[in-house]
Structure 1
Amino acid sequence: MTRLLDAHGLEILHARHHTRLKWHRLRKRFADPLFSAEVMAEGFAAGASMELDLRVRADGGFVVLHDRKLEGETTGHGPIADKSIGDLRGVLMKDGARPLILSEDLAAMMQSTHPAALLQFDMKDDFEAIGAKGIEHLAAHFRDISASVIVSGGSLDLIVAVKEKLPHLQRGIDPTDKLYDIWKASGWNAVETELRADLSGPTEPDTIYLHWPLILNAAKEGLDMIGLCQDHGKRVDAWTFTLKNPETGFSEEEWLNFSALMALKPDQITTDEAPATERAWRRRTAD
């Protein structure tokens, strides 16, 4: 991986291990507007790892939004899956009255980036909803982009379809919900068995996304989920750790959890407060 020249809000070095700080929903700071094209451009220039959510449209394209319906995040109304590109062109984000980022726009924005930049497409719909039409749209618009992209989602069928159509893109899976259910029903041994199956499964993932409390709970019971994934050649993203008070840094509880997480050497931590997290870490470790 190309090393990051400007580490401000990008990564933490601990015990000779680099842990990237991923900007959740294109936010470098929680005060940033949701899914900001300006913040994304800043991240592309700096070599940041960033995440955005994609929802499928009726015409097979995508829009950068998290919710299934337009009402929560935008001035529009109704399910996104019922809308075409024309329906969405006049819709604005509630935060700042900004235009929506459509997949067509996104492809154009990604033509020139820092070589270390990484953009995660977190697919919020399953393969049944996206279908072959949506996969073809991704192939048409992102086959030749120069930037590094990782496509992630909870739908394993979707990730397999991406692998087959766009093998050059990185892939990620998030088995968190499934693993929580297995833990509650059958315990940690069953969780380990299922995670091993995912690691060697047909998606052939590059990165595994895991809820950070799940990682710590497993570690307390002797299951190092991060180590297990890394032993299989996979990276681990621990999501989403955001400081409650970015100005003052870690509370004692936050510090106990974050330092325990860092001791397990995740490859990446998702956060809404990347610069503040790095700053708080330096302040604590300098003592």
Structure 2
Amino acid sequence: MTGLLDAQGLEISHLGHRTRLKWHRLRKRFADPLFSAEVMAEGFAAGASMELDLRVRADGGFVVLHDEELEGETTGHGPIAEKSIGDIGDIRMKEGDRPLILSEDLAAMLQSAHPAALLQFDMKDDYGAIGARGIEHLAAHFRDIAASVIVSAGSLDLIVAVKEKIPNLMRGIDPTNKLGDIGQASGWKAVETELRADLRGPTEPDTIYLHWQLILDAAKGGLDMIALCQDQGKRVDAWTFTLKDPEAGFSEEEWRNFQALMALKPDQITTDEAPATERAWSRRMAV
């Protein structure tokens, strides 16, 4: 049986399994502005799972941006890591002339979030850039609301540092690129061995982030990466599956891929078109 929650872009329930739809870069729809505080507030009220990128500031705090330099997404200039909170107060997002979102803002907004809401901090800097001061900032602002936050990073040293300083904060790792390279060089058995090592590793991750195409390729090769992770008590986020035409719904190729992905029962799918994906699924399943 398939059930939907009012097409809010929150989740799809299928064959007794619940798959959350995570709003990528705080976008409920691709037409939404990048890193929108308004969309984030809507998600907090609805209990949505959402993701944003964080860059470290010179004072140890963070700002919600993807790029290393301010030029790409904002009216500012120069490396974000060289700017303190006072340096960026007048800087605006290029899209929509909106103020930047700071980590301090996130902490305040999360205080009133729906209990089911989950916000992923995708840390774009490594531990060498963030250091003990950045970890202390996270602890000071998010330790008491840890149930609403999960921290992910490419830097395993950073995730280990988060675990040691804020053990109640959920953690995620993304070994996609590494596993993809191993698969091309040595095959799926080698991928399985490496993934098992990651699951048992010092980061002690709660969630494993894997590109959806890698998941499907592995399944065709006889390796169910999602089941492997779930058997070890880990959740799996399949990223990033976004409909090319949200109004029309799934193309035939998209439908084949999405069906195959759902059959593997991921815990979460990252998308830039959450409500459209729910609607498209509902229409297809009703046929």
Displacement after TM superposition at 1:184 (Å):
1.8
Displacement after TM superposition at 1:175 (Å):
0.5
Matched, 1:119 2:128: no
Q: Which moved more, 1:247-256 or 1:103-112?
A: 103-112
SS in 1 for 2:13: strand
Matched, 1:286 2:281: no
Quote the Cα distance in structure 2 between the aligned partners of 1:227 and 1:273: 26
Kindly provide the CA deviation profile for residues 4-62 of structure 1, in whole angstroms up to 9, marking residues without a partner as x: 96552100011110000000000000011110111000000000000010001111110
Matched, 1:228 2:228: yes
SS in 2 for 1:145: helix
Asked if the contact 1:6–1:46 (Cα under 8 Å) also holds between the matched residues in 2, the reply is: no
Kindly provide the CA deviation profile for residues 77-134 of structure 1, in whole angstroms up to 9, marking residues without a partner as x: 1111111111111110011000000111111111111111100001011111111111
Q: What's the Cα RMSD here?
A: 1.2
Quote the Cα distance in structure 2 between the aligned partners of 1:173 and 1:50: 16
Quote the Cα distance in structure 2 between the aligned partners of 1:185 and 1:114: 45
% same residue: 85
Quote the Cα distance in structure 2 between the aligned partners of 1:202 and 1:5: 37
Quote the Cα distance in structure 1 between the aligned partners of 2:21 and 2:5: 14
Displacement after TM superposition at 1:183 (Å):
1.3
**Structure 2 partner of 1:274:** 274
Displacement after TM superposition at 1:145 (Å):
2.5
Q: How does 1:116-195 map to 2 (within 5 A)?
A: 116-145=116-145, 148-195=148-195
Distance 1:35 1:139, change over 3 A: same
Matched, 1:18 2:30: no
Displacement after TM superposition at 1:236 (Å):
0.2
Asked if the contact 2:51–2:119 (Cα under 8 Å) also holds between the matched residues in 1, the reply is: yes
What TM-score do you get using the length of structure 2 for normalisation?
0.97
Distance 1:35 1:74, change over 3 A: same
SS in 2 for 1:143: helix
SS in 1 for 2:53: strand
Quote the Cα distance in structure 2 between the aligned partners of 1:28 and 1:14: 21
Quote the Cα distance in structure 1 between the aligned partners of 2:124 and 2:266: 24
In structure 2, stretches of 5+ residues that fail to align are: none
Kindly provide the CA deviation profile for residues 176-202 of structure 1, in whole angstroms up to 9, marking residues without a partner as x: 111111112211111111000000111
How many residues end up aligned between the 2 structures?
284
Counterpart AA for 1:30: F
Quote the Cα distance in structure 1 between the aligned partners of 2:177 and 2:11: 27
Asked if the contact 2:75–2:92 (Cα under 8 Å) also holds between the matched residues in 1, the reply is: yes
Counterpart AA for 1:278: E
**Structure 2 partner of 1:101:** 101
Asked if the contact 1:112–1:146 (Cα under 8 Å) also holds between the matched residues in 2, the reply is: no
Q: How does 1:195-274 map to 2 (within 5 A)?
A: 195-274=195-274
Asked if the contact 1:110–1:146 (Cα under 8 Å) also holds between the matched residues in 2, the reply is: no
Quote the Cα distance in structure 2 between the aligned partners of 1:92 and 1:8: 29
Counterpart AA for 1:152: S
**Structure 2 partner of 1:70:** 70
Counterpart AA for 2:183: W
Quote the Cα distance in structure 2 between the aligned partners of 1:155 and 1:7: 36
Asked if the contact 2:7–2:275 (Cα under 8 Å) also holds between the matched residues in 1, the reply is: no
Q: Which moved more, 1:181-190 or 1:42-51?
A: 181-190
In structure 1, stretches of 5+ residues that fail to align are: none
Counterpart AA for 1:253: E
What TM-score do you get using the length of structure 1 for normalisation?
0.97
